[in-house]
Structure 1
Protein backbone atom coordinates (compact mmCIF):
# COMPACT_ATOMS: atom_id res chain seq x y z
CA UNK A 1 0.00 0.00 0.00
CA UNK A 2 1.24 3.50 -0.82
CA UNK A 3 0.81 6.75 1.06
CA UNK A 4 2.42 10.03 2.10
CA UNK A 5 4.11 10.75 5.43
CA UNK A 6 2.19 13.63 6.98
CA UNK A 7 3.85 13.72 10.40
CA UNK A 8 7.01 12.39 11.98
CA UNK A 9 7.54 12.49 15.72
CA UNK A 10 9.45 10.41 18.29
CA UNK A 11 10.35 7.68 15.79
CA UNK A 12 6.79 7.24 14.51
CA UNK A 13 5.63 8.23 11.03
CA UNK A 14 1.99 8.89 10.24
CA UNK A 15 1.12 7.85 6.70
CA UNK A 16 -1.98 9.09 4.88
CA UNK A 17 -3.15 6.68 2.17
CA UNK A 18 -5.31 7.16 -0.92
CA UNK A 19 -8.12 5.51 1.02
CA UNK A 20 -7.87 8.50 3.40
CA UNK A 21 -6.71 6.36 6.31
CA UNK A 22 -3.92 7.43 8.65
CA UNK A 23 -1.52 4.68 9.73
CA UNK A 24 1.00 4.92 12.55
CA UNK A 25 4.19 3.39 11.18
CA UNK A 26 7.78 2.68 12.06
CA UNK A 27 10.61 2.60 9.53
CA UNK A 28 12.16 -0.84 9.16
CA UNK A 29 15.83 -1.33 10.03
CA UNK A 30 16.80 -1.47 6.36
CA UNK A 31 16.59 2.34 6.22
CA UNK A 32 19.09 2.75 9.06
CA UNK A 33 21.45 0.33 7.32
CA UNK A 34 21.25 2.44 4.13
CA UNK A 35 21.56 5.71 6.08
CA UNK A 36 18.12 6.70 4.81
CA UNK A 37 15.70 8.65 6.95
CA UNK A 38 12.05 9.05 5.98
CA UNK A 39 10.93 12.67 5.84
CA UNK A 40 7.58 14.38 6.12
CA UNK A 41 6.32 14.57 2.54
CA UNK A 42 7.89 11.30 1.44
CA UNK A 43 5.75 9.00 -0.68
CA UNK A 44 6.19 5.52 0.76
CA UNK A 45 5.11 1.89 0.59
CA UNK A 46 3.84 0.35 3.82
CA UNK A 47 2.92 -3.09 5.11
CA UNK A 48 -0.13 -3.21 7.36
CA UNK A 49 0.47 -5.05 10.63
CA UNK A 50 -2.81 -4.17 12.38
CA UNK A 51 -5.71 -2.87 10.30
CA UNK A 52 -7.99 -2.32 13.27
CA UNK A 53 -5.40 -0.24 15.15
CA UNK A 54 -4.15 1.34 11.88
CA UNK A 55 -0.53 0.36 12.46
CA UNK A 56 2.09 -0.53 9.87
CA UNK A 57 5.72 -0.53 8.79
CA UNK A 58 7.34 1.61 6.11
CA UNK A 59 9.04 -0.76 3.68
CA UNK A 60 10.11 1.52 0.82
CA UNK A 61 10.79 5.20 0.12
CA UNK A 62 9.66 6.25 -3.35
CA UNK A 63 11.89 8.64 -5.37
CA UNK A 64 11.92 12.23 -4.11
CA UNK A 65 11.27 15.28 -6.27
CA UNK A 66 13.44 17.32 -3.90
CA UNK A 67 14.55 17.43 -0.28
CA UNK A 68 14.95 20.36 2.07
CA UNK A 69 17.33 20.23 5.00
CA UNK A 70 15.90 22.97 7.20
CA UNK A 71 13.00 22.35 7.41
CA UNK A 72 13.54 18.62 6.79
CA UNK A 73 10.76 17.90 4.29
CA UNK A 74 10.48 16.30 0.85
CA UNK A 75 8.58 16.71 -2.42
CA UNK A 76 7.87 20.45 -2.21
CA UNK A 77 6.26 22.39 -5.09
CA UNK A 78 6.42 25.83 -3.51
CA UNK A 79 7.90 27.49 -0.43
CA UNK A 80 6.00 30.27 1.28
CA UNK A 81 8.22 32.19 3.67
CA UNK A 82 6.30 34.35 6.13
CA UNK A 83 7.68 37.39 7.94
CA UNK A 84 5.78 39.99 9.93
CA UNK A 85 5.99 43.44 8.37
CA UNK A 86 5.99 44.83 11.92
CA UNK A 87 5.92 43.59 15.51
CA UNK A 88 8.56 42.26 15.01
CA UNK A 89 10.18 44.06 12.08
CA UNK A 90 11.44 41.60 9.44
CA UNK A 91 15.04 40.46 9.58
CA UNK A 92 15.86 40.75 5.88
CA UNK A 93 19.25 39.09 6.26
CA UNK A 94 17.47 36.02 7.61
CA UNK A 95 14.92 36.22 4.80
CA UNK A 96 17.67 36.41 2.17
CA UNK A 97 19.40 33.37 3.67
CA UNK A 98 16.16 31.44 3.32
CA UNK A 99 15.80 32.59 -0.29
CA UNK A 100 19.36 31.49 -1.03
CA UNK A 101 18.59 28.05 0.42
CA UNK A 102 15.48 27.70 -1.74
CA UNK A 103 17.35 28.84 -4.87
CA UNK A 104 20.02 26.25 -4.07
CA UNK A 105 17.34 23.56 -3.71
CA UNK A 106 15.58 24.82 -6.86
CA UNK A 107 12.30 25.40 -5.01
CA UNK A 108 10.13 28.29 -6.16
CA UNK A 109 9.51 30.73 -3.31
CA UNK A 110 6.83 33.30 -2.53
CA UNK A 111 7.44 35.93 0.14
CA UNK A 112 4.55 36.76 2.46
CA UNK A 113 4.67 39.82 4.70
CA UNK A 114 1.98 39.42 7.33
CA UNK A 115 0.33 41.94 9.71
CA UNK A 116 -0.06 44.62 7.00
CA UNK A 117 -2.86 46.15 9.05
CA UNK A 118 -0.12 47.33 11.43
CA UNK A 119 2.02 49.18 8.87
CA UNK A 120 1.95 51.95 6.26
CA UNK A 121 1.62 51.93 2.47
CA UNK A 122 5.11 53.39 2.33
CA UNK A 123 6.57 50.34 4.09
CA UNK A 124 4.69 48.02 1.73
CA UNK A 125 6.11 49.81 -1.31
CA UNK A 126 9.62 49.69 0.17
CA UNK A 127 9.52 45.90 0.52
CA UNK A 128 8.06 45.50 -2.96
CA UNK A 129 10.98 47.50 -4.38
CA UNK A 130 13.47 45.19 -2.68
CA UNK A 131 12.07 41.81 -3.72
CA UNK A 132 9.86 42.13 -6.81
CA UNK A 133 12.77 43.24 -9.08
CA UNK A 134 14.60 40.12 -7.87
CA UNK A 135 11.83 38.04 -9.44
CA UNK A 136 9.92 37.08 -6.30
CA UNK A 137 6.16 37.17 -5.89
CA UNK A 138 5.46 39.23 -2.76
CA UNK A 139 2.18 38.90 -0.87
CA UNK A 140 0.91 41.16 1.88
CA UNK A 141 -1.57 39.60 4.28
CA UNK A 142 -3.52 40.31 7.42
CA UNK A 143 -5.45 37.76 9.41
CA UNK A 144 -7.06 40.68 11.25
CA UNK A 145 -8.93 42.05 8.23
CA UNK A 146 -8.46 39.17 5.76
CA UNK A 147 -6.31 41.11 3.29
CA UNK A 148 -4.45 38.85 0.85
CA UNK A 149 -5.88 35.58 2.21
CA UNK A 150 -8.05 34.80 -0.85
CA UNK A 151 -5.11 35.44 -3.18
CA UNK A 152 -2.97 33.12 -1.07
CA UNK A 153 -5.62 30.38 -1.22
CA UNK A 154 -5.67 30.67 -5.01
CA UNK A 155 -1.88 30.45 -5.30
CA UNK A 156 -1.47 27.32 -3.19
CA UNK A 157 -4.38 25.33 -4.62
CA UNK A 158 -3.26 21.98 -6.02
CA UNK A 159 0.31 22.27 -4.72
CA UNK A 160 2.46 20.90 -1.94
CA UNK A 161 3.58 23.94 0.03
CA UNK A 162 6.10 24.45 2.80
CA UNK A 163 5.22 27.25 5.24
CA UNK A 164 8.31 28.64 6.92
CA UNK A 165 9.35 31.69 8.87
CA UNK A 166 10.46 32.93 12.29
CA UNK A 167 8.29 32.47 15.35
CA UNK A 168 5.72 35.12 16.10
CA UNK A 169 5.02 36.25 12.52
CA UNK A 170 1.51 34.78 12.35
CA UNK A 171 2.10 31.57 10.38
CA UNK A 172 -0.39 29.60 12.46
CA UNK A 173 -2.99 32.35 12.19
CA UNK A 174 -2.58 32.38 8.39
CA UNK A 175 -3.01 28.61 8.28
CA UNK A 176 -6.12 28.86 10.43
CA UNK A 177 -7.53 31.48 8.04
CA UNK A 178 -6.80 29.30 5.02
CA UNK A 179 -8.35 26.24 6.62
CA UNK A 180 -11.25 28.09 8.23
CA UNK A 181 -10.61 26.16 11.41
CA UNK A 182 -8.52 26.53 14.57
CA UNK A 183 -6.21 23.59 13.90
CA UNK A 184 -3.25 24.85 15.93
CA UNK A 185 -2.61 26.87 19.01
CA UNK A 186 -1.56 30.29 17.80
CA UNK A 187 0.30 31.12 21.02
CA UNK A 188 1.02 34.59 22.35
CA UNK A 189 3.72 37.01 21.38
CA UNK A 190 6.34 37.46 24.05
CA UNK A 191 6.37 41.22 24.55
CA UNK A 192 9.67 41.02 26.35
CA UNK A 193 11.70 39.77 23.36
CA UNK A 194 9.33 40.59 20.51
CA UNK A 195 9.21 37.00 19.29
CA UNK A 196 6.62 34.29 19.29
CA UNK A 197 6.55 31.18 21.37
CA UNK A 198 7.46 28.07 19.39
CA UNK A 199 3.93 26.79 18.91
CA UNK A 200 4.99 24.39 16.12
CA UNK A 201 7.60 21.90 17.30
CA UNK A 202 7.74 19.40 14.45
CA UNK A 203 7.15 19.33 10.70
CA UNK A 204 3.64 18.29 9.78
CA UNK A 205 1.42 18.24 6.70
CA UNK A 206 -2.15 19.46 6.56
CA UNK A 207 -4.30 18.45 3.62
CA UNK A 208 -6.78 20.83 2.02
CA UNK A 209 -9.30 19.06 -0.19
CA UNK A 210 -7.83 16.30 -2.32
CA UNK A 211 -4.87 17.97 -3.97
CA UNK A 212 -3.31 20.58 -1.66
CA UNK A 213 -0.80 19.75 1.05
CA UNK A 214 0.70 22.27 3.46
CA UNK A 215 3.82 21.65 5.53
CA UNK A 216 3.94 23.74 8.66
CA UNK A 217 7.42 23.86 10.14
CA UNK A 218 8.92 25.00 13.45
CA UNK A 219 9.80 28.68 13.58
CA UNK A 220 13.45 29.49 12.92
CA UNK A 221 15.65 32.26 14.29
CA UNK A 222 18.86 31.38 12.45
CA UNK A 223 19.71 29.83 9.09
CA UNK A 224 23.09 28.61 7.95
CA UNK A 225 23.97 27.74 4.38
CA UNK A 226 27.37 26.01 4.81
CA UNK A 227 27.00 23.73 1.78
CA UNK A 228 27.33 26.68 -0.62
CA UNK A 229 30.78 27.93 -1.63
CA UNK A 230 30.96 31.69 -1.15
CA UNK A 231 32.29 32.10 -4.71
CA UNK A 232 29.07 30.56 -6.02
CA UNK A 233 26.71 32.55 -3.79
CA UNK A 234 26.05 35.09 -6.55
CA UNK A 235 24.31 32.42 -8.63
CA UNK A 236 21.54 32.21 -6.01
CA UNK A 237 20.64 35.89 -6.34
CA UNK A 238 18.45 35.89 -9.49
CA UNK A 239 18.72 39.65 -10.04
CA UNK A 240 22.53 39.40 -10.30
CA UNK A 241 22.38 37.17 -13.40
CA UNK A 242 22.14 39.94 -16.07
CA UNK A 243 25.48 41.39 -14.88
CA UNK A 244 27.41 38.12 -14.76
CA UNK A 245 29.31 38.67 -18.03
CA UNK A 246 29.53 42.45 -17.85
CA UNK A 247 32.18 42.77 -15.15
CA UNK A 248 35.80 43.60 -15.97
CA UNK A 249 37.08 40.29 -14.60
CA UNK A 250 35.74 36.82 -15.31
CA UNK A 251 34.43 35.12 -12.18
CA UNK A 252 33.81 38.43 -10.42
CA UNK A 253 32.10 37.71 -7.09
CA UNK A 254 30.93 41.33 -6.79
CA UNK A 255 32.67 42.13 -3.52
CA UNK A 256 36.11 43.76 -3.84
CA UNK A 257 36.84 43.58 -7.56
CA UNK A 258 37.22 46.80 -9.59
CA UNK A 259 35.11 47.27 -12.70
CA UNK A 260 32.15 45.37 -11.23
CA UNK A 261 29.01 45.88 -13.31
CA UNK A 262 26.76 44.77 -10.46
CA UNK A 263 28.09 47.45 -8.11
CA UNK A 264 27.45 50.03 -10.82
CA UNK A 265 23.86 48.73 -11.10
CA UNK A 266 23.45 49.10 -7.35
CA UNK A 267 24.69 52.69 -7.44
CA UNK A 268 22.20 53.49 -10.22
CA UNK A 269 19.35 51.85 -8.29
CA UNK A 270 18.79 48.98 -10.73
CA UNK A 271 19.55 46.42 -8.00
CA UNK A 272 18.52 46.69 -4.34
CA UNK A 273 21.26 47.94 -2.05
CA UNK A 274 19.59 46.11 0.84
CA UNK A 275 19.86 42.79 -0.99
CA UNK A 276 23.48 43.51 -1.92
CA UNK A 277 24.49 44.37 1.66
CA UNK A 278 22.94 41.10 2.82
CA UNK A 279 24.78 39.31 0.02
CA UNK A 280 28.12 40.63 1.29
CA UNK A 281 27.32 39.59 4.87
CA UNK A 282 26.34 36.07 3.80
CA UNK A 283 29.43 35.90 1.56
CA UNK A 284 31.70 36.66 4.52
CA UNK A 285 29.84 34.20 6.74
CA UNK A 286 30.29 31.40 4.20
CA UNK A 287 33.94 32.34 3.74
CA UNK A 288 34.60 32.26 7.48
CA UNK A 289 32.78 28.94 7.89
CA UNK A 290 35.39 27.29 5.66
CA UNK A 291 38.12 28.17 8.15
CA UNK A 292 36.66 25.95 10.86
Structure 2
Protein backbone atom coordinates (compact mmCIF):
# COMPACT_ATOMS: atom_id res chain seq x y z
CA UNK A 1 0.00 0.00 0.00
CA UNK A 2 1.08 3.54 -0.74
CA UNK A 3 1.07 6.42 1.75
CA UNK A 4 -0.09 9.97 1.15
CA UNK A 5 -1.91 13.00 2.50
CA UNK A 6 -5.50 14.03 1.69
CA UNK A 7 -5.36 17.53 0.17
CA UNK A 8 -9.00 17.83 -0.95
CA UNK A 9 -12.37 16.26 -0.14
CA UNK A 10 -15.25 16.84 -2.52
CA UNK A 11 -18.49 14.97 -3.33
CA UNK A 12 -17.43 11.72 -1.67
CA UNK A 13 -13.97 11.66 -3.29
CA UNK A 14 -10.66 12.17 -1.51
CA UNK A 15 -7.69 13.54 -3.42
CA UNK A 16 -4.47 12.09 -2.00
CA UNK A 17 -1.05 13.66 -2.63
CA UNK A 18 1.59 10.93 -2.85
CA UNK A 19 5.09 11.25 -4.33
CA UNK A 20 4.17 14.37 -6.27
CA UNK A 21 0.99 12.89 -7.79
CA UNK A 22 -2.65 13.40 -6.80
CA UNK A 23 -4.72 10.20 -6.69
CA UNK A 24 -8.55 10.31 -6.63
CA UNK A 25 -9.78 7.89 -3.97
CA UNK A 26 -12.91 6.69 -2.24
CA UNK A 27 -13.11 5.60 1.40
CA UNK A 28 -13.55 1.93 2.28
CA UNK A 29 -17.16 0.87 2.82
CA UNK A 30 -16.30 -0.35 6.30
CA UNK A 31 -15.35 3.21 7.34
CA UNK A 32 -19.03 4.10 7.62
CA UNK A 33 -19.69 1.21 10.00
CA UNK A 34 -16.61 2.14 12.03
CA UNK A 35 -17.70 5.81 12.01
CA UNK A 36 -14.41 6.87 10.39
CA UNK A 37 -14.55 9.98 8.24
CA UNK A 38 -11.30 10.83 6.43
CA UNK A 39 -10.42 14.52 6.66
CA UNK A 40 -8.30 16.86 4.61
CA UNK A 41 -4.85 16.78 6.24
CA UNK A 42 -5.09 13.09 7.15
CA UNK A 43 -2.14 10.81 6.44
CA UNK A 44 -3.56 7.68 4.83
CA UNK A 45 -2.65 4.31 3.35
CA UNK A 46 -4.31 3.64 0.01
CA UNK A 47 -4.42 1.27 -2.94
CA UNK A 48 -4.94 2.51 -6.51
CA UNK A 49 -5.16 0.77 -9.88
CA UNK A 50 -4.98 4.15 -11.65
CA UNK A 51 -4.73 7.86 -10.84
CA UNK A 52 -8.54 8.13 -10.75
CA UNK A 53 -9.44 4.81 -9.09
CA UNK A 54 -8.07 4.44 -5.57
CA UNK A 55 -9.35 3.34 -2.17
CA UNK A 56 -8.25 4.64 1.22
CA UNK A 57 -7.51 1.58 3.36
CA UNK A 58 -6.37 3.19 6.61
CA UNK A 59 -6.36 6.61 8.27
CA UNK A 60 -3.29 7.26 10.41
CA UNK A 61 -3.62 8.64 13.96
CA UNK A 62 -4.27 12.38 14.00
CA UNK A 63 -2.26 15.00 15.86
CA UNK A 64 -5.39 17.16 16.09
CA UNK A 65 -8.63 17.81 14.24
CA UNK A 66 -11.17 20.56 13.79
CA UNK A 67 -14.87 19.98 13.20
CA UNK A 68 -15.67 23.35 11.65
CA UNK A 69 -13.74 23.55 9.36
CA UNK A 70 -13.21 19.76 8.98
CA UNK A 71 -9.43 19.35 8.80
CA UNK A 72 -6.75 17.32 10.61
CA UNK A 73 -3.06 17.61 11.55
CA UNK A 74 -2.96 21.40 11.48
CA UNK A 75 0.20 23.18 12.66
CA UNK A 76 -1.28 26.65 12.90
CA UNK A 77 -4.45 28.65 12.31
CA UNK A 78 -4.36 31.96 10.48
CA UNK A 79 -7.35 33.75 12.00
CA UNK A 80 -8.43 36.39 9.51
CA UNK A 81 -10.56 39.28 10.74
CA UNK A 82 -11.44 42.54 9.04
CA UNK A 83 -10.90 45.94 10.59
CA UNK A 84 -14.26 47.03 9.10
CA UNK A 85 -16.88 45.58 6.73
CA UNK A 86 -17.64 43.50 8.77
CA UNK A 87 -16.52 45.42 11.85
CA UNK A 88 -13.77 43.86 13.98
CA UNK A 89 -15.23 41.71 16.77
CA UNK A 90 -13.02 40.93 19.76
CA UNK A 91 -15.50 38.43 21.21
CA UNK A 92 -15.61 36.46 17.96
CA UNK A 93 -11.81 36.51 17.77
CA UNK A 94 -11.63 35.25 21.35
CA UNK A 95 -14.01 32.39 20.48
CA UNK A 96 -11.71 31.40 17.61
CA UNK A 97 -8.65 31.70 19.86
CA UNK A 98 -10.17 29.47 22.56
CA UNK A 99 -11.04 26.79 20.00
CA UNK A 100 -7.55 26.91 18.48
CA UNK A 101 -5.75 27.00 21.85
CA UNK A 102 -7.82 24.02 23.08
CA UNK A 103 -6.61 21.98 20.09
CA UNK A 104 -2.95 22.93 20.73
CA UNK A 105 -2.81 24.72 17.39
CA UNK A 106 -0.71 27.88 17.11
CA UNK A 107 -2.84 30.93 16.24
CA UNK A 108 -1.69 33.79 14.01
CA UNK A 109 -4.04 36.79 13.97
CA UNK A 110 -4.49 38.77 10.74
CA UNK A 111 -6.46 42.01 10.73
CA UNK A 112 -7.36 42.67 7.08
CA UNK A 113 -8.86 45.69 5.28
CA UNK A 114 -6.68 48.12 7.24
CA UNK A 115 -6.90 50.51 4.27
CA UNK A 116 -10.60 51.10 5.09
CA UNK A 117 -9.92 52.38 8.62
CA UNK A 118 -10.68 56.04 9.32
CA UNK A 119 -11.91 58.41 11.99
CA UNK A 120 -12.72 57.04 15.45
CA UNK A 121 -12.50 53.41 14.31
CA UNK A 122 -8.77 53.54 13.54
CA UNK A 123 -7.44 54.06 17.11
CA UNK A 124 -9.91 51.46 18.44
CA UNK A 125 -8.69 48.73 16.08
CA UNK A 126 -5.05 49.73 16.59
CA UNK A 127 -5.66 49.44 20.36
CA UNK A 128 -6.90 45.87 19.92
CA UNK A 129 -3.80 45.04 17.85
CA UNK A 130 -1.55 46.35 20.65
CA UNK A 131 -3.50 44.36 23.28
CA UNK A 132 -3.23 41.02 21.47
CA UNK A 133 0.46 41.57 20.72
CA UNK A 134 1.02 42.36 24.41
CA UNK A 135 -0.63 39.04 25.33
CA UNK A 136 1.94 37.35 23.09
CA UNK A 137 0.01 36.65 19.90
CA UNK A 138 1.50 37.26 16.47
CA UNK A 139 -0.72 39.92 14.89
CA UNK A 140 -0.29 41.02 11.27
CA UNK A 141 -2.17 44.03 9.90
CA UNK A 142 -2.86 43.69 6.17
CA UNK A 143 -4.60 45.18 3.18
CA UNK A 144 -5.14 43.17 0.01
CA UNK A 145 -5.83 46.46 -1.81
CA UNK A 146 -2.53 48.17 -0.98
CA UNK A 147 -0.72 44.81 -0.38
CA UNK A 148 0.50 46.22 2.94
CA UNK A 149 1.58 43.50 5.40
CA UNK A 150 0.75 40.62 3.05
CA UNK A 151 4.36 39.48 2.56
CA UNK A 152 4.88 39.37 6.34
CA UNK A 153 2.69 36.25 6.35
CA UNK A 154 4.87 34.18 4.00
CA UNK A 155 7.57 33.14 6.52
CA UNK A 156 4.85 31.80 8.83
CA UNK A 157 3.59 29.42 6.12
CA UNK A 158 6.85 27.69 5.19
CA UNK A 159 6.93 23.97 6.01
CA UNK A 160 3.62 24.03 7.88
CA UNK A 161 -0.02 23.05 7.37
CA UNK A 162 -2.01 26.20 8.01
CA UNK A 163 -5.75 26.71 8.12
CA UNK A 164 -7.15 30.09 7.13
CA UNK A 165 -10.31 30.67 9.16
CA UNK A 166 -12.61 33.52 10.03
CA UNK A 167 -16.14 34.72 9.47
CA UNK A 168 -17.30 35.22 5.91
CA UNK A 169 -16.57 38.50 4.15
CA UNK A 170 -13.26 39.28 5.90
CA UNK A 171 -11.16 38.68 2.79
CA UNK A 172 -9.64 35.21 3.33
CA UNK A 173 -9.76 34.30 -0.37
CA UNK A 174 -8.50 37.77 -1.38
CA UNK A 175 -5.59 37.35 1.02
CA UNK A 176 -4.69 33.94 -0.42
CA UNK A 177 -4.89 35.36 -3.95
CA UNK A 178 -2.48 38.12 -2.86
CA UNK A 179 -0.10 35.58 -1.29
CA UNK A 180 -0.07 33.46 -4.44
CA UNK A 181 -0.80 35.51 -7.57
CA UNK A 182 -2.56 33.45 -10.20
CA UNK A 183 -4.46 31.35 -7.65
CA UNK A 184 -7.73 33.07 -8.66
CA UNK A 185 -9.87 31.88 -5.77
CA UNK A 186 -13.42 33.19 -6.07
CA UNK A 187 -14.18 36.21 -3.92
CA UNK A 188 -17.38 38.08 -3.12
CA UNK A 189 -17.88 41.58 -1.80
CA UNK A 190 -19.56 42.20 1.52
CA UNK A 191 -23.36 42.23 1.44
CA UNK A 192 -24.44 45.76 2.36
CA UNK A 193 -27.91 44.51 3.25
CA UNK A 194 -26.83 41.75 5.64
CA UNK A 195 -23.59 43.37 6.80
CA UNK A 196 -21.66 40.17 6.20
CA UNK A 197 -20.05 38.37 3.33
CA UNK A 198 -21.37 35.54 1.23
CA UNK A 199 -19.61 32.18 1.52
CA UNK A 200 -17.25 31.81 -1.43
CA UNK A 201 -15.38 28.64 -0.47
CA UNK A 202 -17.49 25.46 -0.65
CA UNK A 203 -15.01 22.75 0.34
CA UNK A 204 -11.74 22.35 2.22
CA UNK A 205 -8.63 22.09 0.07
CA UNK A 206 -4.90 22.28 0.82
CA UNK A 207 -3.06 24.64 -1.53
CA UNK A 208 0.71 25.08 -1.84
CA UNK A 209 1.62 28.61 -0.76
CA UNK A 210 4.87 30.01 0.62
CA UNK A 211 6.58 26.64 0.91
CA UNK A 212 3.75 25.14 2.97
CA UNK A 213 0.20 23.83 2.60
CA UNK A 214 -2.68 26.17 3.29
CA UNK A 215 -6.36 25.35 3.74
CA UNK A 216 -8.86 27.86 2.46
CA UNK A 217 -11.95 26.89 4.43
CA UNK A 218 -15.68 27.62 4.23
CA UNK A 219 -16.55 30.79 6.12
CA UNK A 220 -18.48 30.54 9.38
CA UNK A 221 -19.47 32.95 12.10
CA UNK A 222 -20.40 30.76 15.11
CA UNK A 223 -18.29 28.51 17.30
CA UNK A 224 -19.64 26.22 19.99
CA UNK A 225 -17.65 24.97 22.99
CA UNK A 226 -19.21 21.50 22.88
CA UNK A 227 -15.97 19.65 23.66
CA UNK A 228 -14.54 22.12 26.17
CA UNK A 229 -14.71 21.55 29.93
CA UNK A 230 -14.67 24.24 32.64
CA UNK A 231 -11.15 23.32 33.75
CA UNK A 232 -9.79 23.66 30.21
CA UNK A 233 -11.00 27.21 29.57
CA UNK A 234 -8.39 29.00 31.79
CA UNK A 235 -5.66 27.17 29.85
CA UNK A 236 -6.89 28.76 26.62
CA UNK A 237 -6.15 32.32 27.80
CA UNK A 238 -2.31 32.68 27.76
CA UNK A 239 -2.29 35.77 29.99
CA UNK A 240 -4.32 33.83 32.60
CA UNK A 241 -2.15 30.75 32.32
CA UNK A 242 1.09 32.64 32.95
CA UNK A 243 -0.31 34.10 36.18
CA UNK A 244 -2.16 31.02 37.46
CA UNK A 245 0.80 29.81 39.58
CA UNK A 246 0.48 33.03 41.62
CA UNK A 247 -3.15 32.31 42.54
CA UNK A 248 -3.80 31.15 46.10
CA UNK A 249 -5.73 28.07 44.99
CA UNK A 250 -4.49 25.45 42.59
CA UNK A 251 -6.99 25.07 39.76
CA UNK A 252 -8.32 28.59 40.35
CA UNK A 253 -11.16 29.39 37.94
CA UNK A 254 -10.46 33.14 38.27
CA UNK A 255 -14.13 33.74 38.98
CA UNK A 256 -14.86 34.08 42.71
CA UNK A 257 -11.78 32.71 44.48
CA UNK A 258 -9.87 35.04 46.86
CA UNK A 259 -6.29 36.12 46.15
CA UNK A 260 -6.62 35.41 42.44
CA UNK A 261 -3.63 36.72 40.45
CA UNK A 262 -5.70 37.07 37.28
CA UNK A 263 -8.30 39.31 38.95
CA UNK A 264 -5.47 41.30 40.54
CA UNK A 265 -3.93 41.85 37.07
CA UNK A 266 -7.38 42.81 35.78
CA UNK A 267 -7.77 45.46 38.49
CA UNK A 268 -4.28 46.78 37.72
CA UNK A 269 -5.17 47.12 34.04
CA UNK A 270 -2.65 44.48 32.93
CA UNK A 271 -5.42 42.32 31.47
CA UNK A 272 -7.99 44.07 29.22
CA UNK A 273 -11.47 44.08 30.77
CA UNK A 274 -13.05 42.81 27.55
CA UNK A 275 -10.84 39.70 27.58
CA UNK A 276 -11.89 38.87 31.14
CA UNK A 277 -15.55 39.59 30.35
CA UNK A 278 -15.39 37.22 27.38
CA UNK A 279 -13.81 34.58 29.61
CA UNK A 280 -16.65 34.89 32.14
CA UNK A 281 -19.22 34.71 29.34
CA UNK A 282 -17.59 31.58 27.87
CA UNK A 283 -17.38 29.95 31.32
CA UNK A 284 -21.09 30.56 31.91
CA UNK A 285 -21.86 29.15 28.47
CA UNK A 286 -19.92 25.95 29.25
CA UNK A 287 -21.65 25.58 32.63
CA UNK A 288 -25.06 26.11 31.05
CA UNK A 289 -24.29 23.46 28.43
CA UNK A 290 -23.38 20.95 31.14
CA UNK A 291 -26.60 21.72 33.04
CA UNK A 292 -28.62 21.27 29.84
CA UNK A 293 -27.09 17.85 29.20
TM class by shorter chain equals: over 0.9
Report if the CA contact (8 A) 2:168-2:219 is conserved: yes
Structure 2 residue runs without a partner (length 5+) = none
- Where 1:291 maps in the other structure, the secondary structure is helix
Q: Secondary structure at the match of 1:132?
A: helix
Picking from 110, 129, 134, the partner of 2:108 is 110
Aligned 8 A contact 1:3 1:16 in 2: yes
How many correspondences in the alignment?
288
Q: Matched residue of 1:245: which SS?
A: helix
Q: How many Å separate the matches in 2 of 1:198 and 1:249?
A: 46
Q: After superposition, what is the alpha-carbon deviation per residue over 1:41-61, rounded to whole angstroms, capped at 9, x for unaligned?
A: 11212211334xx22111122
1:249 CA drift (Å): 3.9
Correspondence 1:29 to 2:34: no
Q: How far did residue 117 of structure 1 move? A: 0.7
State the SS of the aligned residue for 1:257. Answer: coil
Cα distance, 1:175 vs. partner? 0.5
What is the 5 A alignment of 1:32-181?
A: 32-51=32-51, 54-120=52-118, 122-181=123-182
- 1:203 maps to what in 2? 204
Other structure's SS at 1:95 match: helix
Q: CA deviation at 1:31?
A: 2.1
- Aligned partners of 1:133 and 1:271 also within 8 Å: no
Native 8 Å contact 1:230 1:284 kept in 2: no
* TM-score (structure 2 length as normaliser): 0.92
Q: Distance in 2 between matches of 1:157 and 1:232?
A: 30
Which position in structure 2 is the counterpart of 1:226? 226
**1:107 shift after superposition:** 0.6
- 2:192 maps to 191
* Alpha carbons of structure 1 residues 245 and 153: separation in structure 2 relative to 1, 3 Å: closer
Partners of 1:243 and 1:261 within 8 A in 2: yes
**Corresponding residue for residue 236 of structure 1:** 236
Specify the alignment match of 1:261 in structure 2. Answer: 261
Asked whether the 8 Å contact 2:81–2:88 carries over to 1, the reply is yes
**In 2, are the aligned partners of 1:80 and 1:111 still within 8 Å (CA)?**
yes
Q: In 2, are the aligned partners of 1:248 and 1:259 still within 8 Å (CA)?
A: yes
Point out where structure 1 has 5 or more consecutive residues left out of the alignment.
Answer: none
Alignment partner of 1:138: what SS? strand
Query: Aligned-pair distance for 1:97?
Result: 1.2
Q: CA deviation at 1:253?
A: 1.1
Once residues 281 and 89 of structure 1 are traced to their aligned partners in structure 2, the CA distance between those partners, rounded to angstroms, is 21
1:169 is paired with a residue whose SS is coil
Q: TM-score, normalised by structure 1?
A: 0.93
Residue aligning to 2:275 = 275
